[in-house]
Amino acid sequence: MTLKSTAILNRRSLLQLSAGLFVANGLRGVASGADRPAVVNPRATSGDAVAEPNWDERLTITVGPKDAQIAGTTDKALQGAVDYVARLGGGTVHVLPGTYRLRNSVYLASNVRILGSGDESVLIKEPSLKTKLAADSDWYDQEITLVDAKGFAVGDGVCLKTKNPHNGGTDVAKRTLVARSGNRFKLDRALRQNFWEMGESTCASLFPIFSGENIADVVIQNIALDGNKANNENLDGNYAGCIFLQDCNRITMRQVTARNYNGDGLSWQICHDVVVENCHSHDNTGLGLHPGSGSQRPTMRGNQIERNDIGIFFCWGVKFGLAEKNRIDGNRSYGVSIGHRDNNNLVCDNDITASGKVGVLFRPERGKAFAPHRNRIENNRIVDSGPEDGVAIDVQGETDSILLSHNQIRESRMPMKRIGIRLGAQSGKVELVENSIEGLAVPIADLRKA
């Protein structure tokens, strides 16, 4: 039968014909994306960052006081190595043993690994200076004038602060001084905010030790960072820390010591898939680990987090995070703090000891829509939390859908007024599963029943 001799094809005939055409062409049906061949033995192809070959060797540049490819112990030597490696597509900056003194951040770059020599590679922030601005600078200006420029130099990292004339808040800008005439300095970038004398504007030589913005695929490993807090003013973790990252992806910090910063130890803001592993963040005035606003899927594993203000601080909207097998000891306020829209996080198998106020805090927020939900606190050892009225786990605000499971809550001091688990009056569903509570005056205080 030919199409020409048939006036009408019914639906069954059409389907049979279609099937015959597929068979005739060697096809069994429409292929799906799952049938696409896997990438094997990839080649380096222009613009393809996904299927990059796993090269046996990449570029390594050494930096150190002597016997290094780049000799020096300043931020300029370290930055030169980072920039060189980044220009050639990535590799390793190997920081040899020595003490490195910094007048500016080392700005990280994508696909660059910083590899230190353990505690023998120490980066120290130089003491900070501070002065007022001697003239107004508008938001479009790219220069400032200092009242006292003594000690400031071209190449320095600085932090500018002012009182916003419209809302009374504080505006902050981090910049580098790139040119000078007397007390006037050119900045590397325009201000984009008004820094006026009427706002009591100041300039201070404050900066993170390592800084990264809009970068990806970076490793910082086996190195010691010292913030020299006794000789530096405070700069909080929204702007700085021993390491500060903003809008980054796939950053790994491993075996990093972050200590003595007048602010945070390790802080990352709107950064995704950050891994912090086997690091030691201690004796910072701010937060030990600060997974910052909007950060998705952070992993914090095997770290020592000691004598900070807060050990781990889940900031705003941190989701699908993991804090596991950390030792969180002697932090002045809270061991772990979870709050504003921090949802679907797991805190498990940690030792949270000697917290100044509360072991694990679910922060009160401005209503249920802002509260932290669907978080799990499991199999932790929470010991000696707070003063005489301290709390091991404190669920505040309209927090909902929380699981507290198999935690060992213990008090080795006198019971006093201490509470094991406190469920706030507004809290929603909190499931308690086989938690062990010993030595506290009140094992469980459920204020929802009042």
Last residue of a domain, one of 186, 204, 222: 204
- For residue range 5-46, what is the model confidence (pLDDT) as tens digits? 334 344 444 444 444 444 444 445 566 667 889 999 999 998
- For residue range 343-354, what is the model confidence (pLDDT) as tens digits? 999 999 999 999
Look at the chain and report how many structural domains it folds into. Answer: 2
Asked if residue 284 and residue 179 are part of one domain, the reply reads no
Residue 343 backbone zone (phi > 0: left; psi -120 to 50: alpha; other: beta): beta
DSSP bridge partners of 101: 74, 124
CA–CA gap between residue 24 and residue 149 (Å, rounded): 84
- For residue range 283-303, what is the model confidence (pLDDT) as tens digits? 999 999 999 999 999 999 999
Last residue of a domain, one of 169, 204, 239: 204
- For residue range 394-421, what is the model confidence (pLDDT) as tens digits? 999 999 999 999 999 999 999 999 999 9
State whether the Cα torsion 220-330-295-207 is positive or negative: negative
> What single-letter DSSP state applies at residue 18?
H
Q: Is residue 32 part of a domain?
A: no
- The enclosing domain of 70 has a CATH number of 2.160.20.10
Note the pLDDT of residue 55.
87
Q: Is residue 341 part of a domain?
A: yes
Asked if residue 269 and residue 300 are part of one domain, the reply reads yes
Flag whether the pTM goes above 0.85. Answer: yes
Asked if residue 135 and residue 76 are part of one domain, the reply reads no
CA–CA gap between residue 159 and residue 265 (Å, rounded): 18
Asked if residue 366 and residue 327 are part of one domain, the reply reads yes
Residue 441 belongs to what domain range?
59-125+206-449
Asked if residue 227 and residue 196 are part of one domain, the reply reads no
Asked if residue 288 and residue 372 are part of one domain, the reply reads yes
Asked if residue 173 and residue 246 are part of one domain, the reply reads no
Asked if residue 144 and residue 63 are part of one domain, the reply reads no
Q: Is residue 408 part of a domain?
A: yes
- The enclosing domain of 185 has a CATH number of 2.40.30
Asked if residue 173 and residue 305 are part of one domain, the reply reads no
CA–CA gap between residue 335 and residue 348 (Å, rounded): 13
List CB contacts of 19: < 8 A, sequence separation 6 or more: none
Asked if residue 371 and residue 295 are part of one domain, the reply reads yes
Q: How far is CA 221 from CA 76, 190, 213, 249, 435, in A?
A: 20, 33, 18, 17, 37
